[in-house]
Amino acid sequence: MSEVPKKRGRLARLRRAAIEIAFIVFLFYANLLMGDFTASRHIKSFEYALTDIVTPINFCIALFSAVLGYFVFENLRRKL
């Protein structure tokens, strides 16, 4: 009986981590998109802006930053 809550607890923590990391990645890309439009003064199309910012290197940066941010905030959450 005690194994079921442990599994649910782990799954809940993994689900929470995935959601928080995905949200940080979303914020990263939203910031890049807004910066791209601000720099171009809305001359570029939305499609061009998306192809300009959605690159493998940007995804790696977003994922690394999101995981790092998650661990920093999780550590702060546990200390408080």
Contact 28, 62 (CB under 8 A): yes
| Predicted confidence (pLDDT) per residue in 10-34, tens digit | 899 999 999 999 999 999 999 998 8
Q: What is the pTM of this model?
A: 0.77
Distance CA 42, CA 44 (A): 6
Distance CA 24, CA 65 (A): 8
Distance CA 34, CA 44 (A): 12
Q: What is the pLDDT of residue 44?
A: 72
Q: Where are the domains of the chain?
A: 3-79
| Predicted confidence (pLDDT) per residue in 26-76, tens digit | 999 999 988 887 777 767 777 888 888 899 999 999 999 999 999 999 999
Residue 7, amino acid: K
